[in-house]
C-alpha cells in the first residue's frame, strides 16, 4: 500500500485556495497528479474571517481537484499561517537514574519536558520540531537510541498559535466531511520542496511571500532555528498602490502585476504608464517612479522586518545564514531579489518546488510551493523517516487532537 500513496495538500491562502494531489513514488519522489484551485474569498491576512464563504471556496477547489485528477479526496494535509503564530527554541532535559542505554520513551519524555513552558492561555502547540540531541554534554548526537548516558537533552523549535483560529481552519474543512491528516505550518511545508538538504545544512533563510502573509523559516546545520509569520504580503503592495496612486484595488493589482517593480526607483527608466479607460474607470497616466517607490519601500520594509526579527531571535544567527530563497506568488514581482540582496547582504535566489515530477507548469510556479510542500511533508511523515534528515523529526502537535479518518 505504501508504494503508491496519494497525498492531498490544501492551502487556504489569502488570494487563492489550492489543492495539490500528488502521488508518492517508491524513490521518495513526489509526482503531482493535478491541482484544483479557486480564488479565495473570506480570507484576510492568511486567516479565515468569513467561514461560510471560505467553506464554499474550499469545496469548489476540492471538486476542481477531483475533476482534474480523478481522485476521490478523503483526507487532506492543511497548511496554516497567520500572525498569531509564534515560535521559540527550548531545551528539554531528562536525567536518567543510572547510566544506561537511551530508550524511545526517554525521547518522548525529553520532548514533554521541553514543552513545559508557559505559552499564552489561548494558545496551543502546533509543532515541536527537534533540532538536536545531546547526551551527557555530547553535542549533536545523531542517534541517541544507540548511546548510553545519564543525561539526555534535546533542543526543540516550538511553534504555537491561537487555538480558536487554528480550529477555524479545521472546522471549515471538517464541515465538508473531509478528514484532516495534520496541520502544518505553511513555511515548514514550503521548505520541504524549496530547500535542498545542502541548503538546510549550510544555513538558509526561506521566505514565502504570499498575498496576505509572508512566512519565513531559518535552517542552520540542518535544523530549524527560527520561523515567523508577518501579516504582510502582496495585498499590502496592491493597497499601497491603490492609496498612493488613487486607483481602484483591481486596477492597482493589475498595474502591480504588469508594470510593478520592487527595484530601487533610483535606477528607474522613468516616464509614465498609461492606464486605459474602461467603463468603470477613467484612464490616467501614472508616474513610474512613484509606482516603483511605493513597491520598493514596502518590499524593503518587509525584508527589513524579517532581518530584524531574526537578529533579535538569536545572536549571530544572521551570520550563519548563507543564502536566501524566496518563493510564493509575490516572488514573481520584478526586482524583488535585488531588494532582498540589499537588505540581507547574502546571495538571494528566487525559487519554487523542486525534486518533484508531474505537471511541470504547476510546480514551476512559486505560488504552489506551500501546497506541494504539504504533500512532500506528508510523504516524509507517513514514511516515518524524518524529512530529509535524521535531525528533523516531527511530532504531531495539534493533528492528534482530531480524530483521523481511515484512508
Partner 1 sequence: MSTSPSRRILVGIGNAGVTVLDLLSVEYPGMTGLLAVNNDPDSLNASIVRDKIEVPEGDPGEGFRVIDDEFGRTVEGASAVILCGGLGGETGSFLLPALAIRAKSAGLTTMACVGMPFSFEGKHKRDLAERALEKLQEICDAVVVIGNDQLSGGSPSIAAVGEAFVLSDRTLLAALLALTGMLSTSGPVKITRTDIHHVLGKTGAITHFGFGKAEGSNRLHEALERALKSPLLTLPGKGSALKESSMILLLLRGAKDIYFAEVQAVVGKIEQIAGDNCQIKVGVHADGPLGSALELYLLASSGGTVRKPAKPSESNETGEPNSAISPISPISPVSQIGTKLPQPSRGEEISSGHSEGEKGADELFPVQTKPTSKSGKKAAATSKQMQGTLALDTYQRGRFDKSEPTIVEGEDLDIPTFLRKGIKLNPPTRK
Task: Give the binding site for partner 1 (CB under 8 A).
Answer: 44-45, 49, 83, 230-232, 235-236, 239-240, 242-247, 249, 272, 275, 277, 282-287, 289-290, 293-294, 297-298, 300-301, 305, 308
Phi, psi of 132 (to 5 degrees): -165, 150
- The DSSP secondary structure of 266-332, one letter per residue, reads GG---SEEEEPPBTTB--EEEEHHHHHHHHHHHHHHHHHHHHHHHHHHSTTHHHH--EEEEESGGGG
Q: Compute the least distance from the CB of residue 392 to partner 1, in Å.
A: 29
Q: To the nearest whole angstrom, how small is the minimum distance from the Cβ of residue 301 to partner 1?
A: 5
* Closer by beta carbon to partner 1, 233 or else 399: 233
Name the minimum Å distance from CB 242 to partner 1: 6
- In the bound state with partner 1, the residue whose beta carbon lies nearer, of 248 and 347, is 248
**Shorter beta-carbon distance to partner 1: residue 242 or 375:** 242
CA dist., res. 248 & res. 355, Å (int): 40
Q: Which helix (H) or strand (E) holds 49?
A: none
- How far apart are alpha carbons 22 and 37 in whole angstroms? 15
Quick check: 193 and 355 in contact, CB under 8 A?
yes
Cell numbers at residue 318, please?
544572521
- Which CB atom, from 246 or from 407, has the smaller least distance to partner 1? 246
Nearer to partner 1, 46 or 358 (CB): 46
Q: Which three cell numbers stand for residue 139?
A: 553535542
- Minimum separation from the CB atom of position 373 to partner 1 (A): 24
* Shortest distance in whole angstroms from residue 299 CB to partner 1: 9
Q: Which is nearer to partner 1, 49 or 117 (CB)?
A: 49
d(CA 300, CA 297): 5
Q: Note the Cα 259 to chain centre separation in Å.
A: 27
Amino acid at each position: 500500500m505504501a508504494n503508491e500513496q496519494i497525498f492531498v495538500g490544501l492551502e487556504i491562502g489569502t488570494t487563492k485556495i489550492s489543492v495539490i494531489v500528488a502521488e508518492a513514488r517508491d524513490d521518495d519522489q513526489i509526482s503531482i497528479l493535478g491541482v484544483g484551485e479557486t480564488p479565495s474569498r473570506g480570507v484576510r491576512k492568511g486567516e479565515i474571517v468569513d467561514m461560510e464563504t471560505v467553506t464554499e471556496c474550499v469545496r469548489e477547489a476540492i471538486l476542481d481537484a477531483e475533476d482534474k485528477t480523478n481522485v476521490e479526496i478523503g483526507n487532506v494535509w492543511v497548511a496554516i499561517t497567520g500572525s498569531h503564530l509564534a515560535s521559540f527554541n527550548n531545551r528539554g532535559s531528562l536525567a536518567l537514574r543510572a547510566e544506561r542505554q537511551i530508550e524511545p520513551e526517554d525521547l518522548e519524555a525529553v520532548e514533554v519536558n521541553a514543552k513545559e513552558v508557559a505559552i499564552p492561555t489561548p494558545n496551543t502547540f502546533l509543532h515541536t520540531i527537534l533540532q538536536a540531541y545531546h547526551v551527557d554534554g555530547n553535542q549533536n548526537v545523531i542517534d541517541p537510541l544507540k548511546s548510553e548516558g545519564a543525561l539526555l537533552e534535546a533542543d526543540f523549535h516550538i511553534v504555537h498559535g491561537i487555538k480558536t483560529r487554528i480550529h477555524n481552519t479545521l472546522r471549515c474543512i471538517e464541515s465538508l466531511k473531509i478528514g484532516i491528516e495534520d496541520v502544518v505550518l505553511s513555511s515548514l511545508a514550503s521548505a520541504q520542496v524549496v530547500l535542498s538538504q545542502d541548503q538546510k545544512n549550510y544555513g538558509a533563510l526561506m521566505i514565502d511571500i504570499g498575498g496576505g502573509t509572508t512566512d519565513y523559516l531559518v535552517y542552520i546545520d540542518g535544523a530549524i532555528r527560527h520561523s515567523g509569520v508577518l501579516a504582510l504580503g502582496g495585498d499590502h503592495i496592491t493597497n499601497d498602490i491603490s492609496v498612493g496612486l488613487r486607483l481602484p484595488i483591481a486596477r492597482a493589482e493589475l498595474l502591480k502585476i504588469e508594470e510593478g517593480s520592487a527595484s530601487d526607483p533610483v535606477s528607474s527608466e522613468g516616464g509614465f504608464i498609461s492606464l486605459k479607460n474602461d467603463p468603470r474607470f477613467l484612464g490616467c497616466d501614472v508616474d513610474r517612479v512613484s509606482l516603483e517607490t511605493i513597491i520598493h519601500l514596502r518590499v524593503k520594509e518587509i525584508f527589513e522586518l524579517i532581518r530584524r526579527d531574526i537578529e533579535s531571535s538569536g545572536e549571530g544567527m544572521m551570520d550563519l545564514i548563507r543564502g536566501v530563497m524566496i518563493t510564493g506568488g509575490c516572488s514573481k514581482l520584478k526586482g524583488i531579489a535585488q531588494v532582498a540582496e540589499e537588505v540581507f547582504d547574502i546571495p538571494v535566489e528566487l525559487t519554487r518546488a523542486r525534486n518533484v515530477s508531474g505537471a511541470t507548469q504547476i510546480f514551476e510556479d512559486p505560488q504552489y510551493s506551500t501546497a506541494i510542500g504539504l504533500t512532500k511533508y506528508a510523504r516524509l511523515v507517513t514514511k516515518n523517516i524524518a524529512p530529509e534528515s535524521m535531525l528533523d523529526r516531527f511530532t504531531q502537535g495539534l493533528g492528534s487532537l482530531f480524530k483521523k479518518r481511515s484512508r
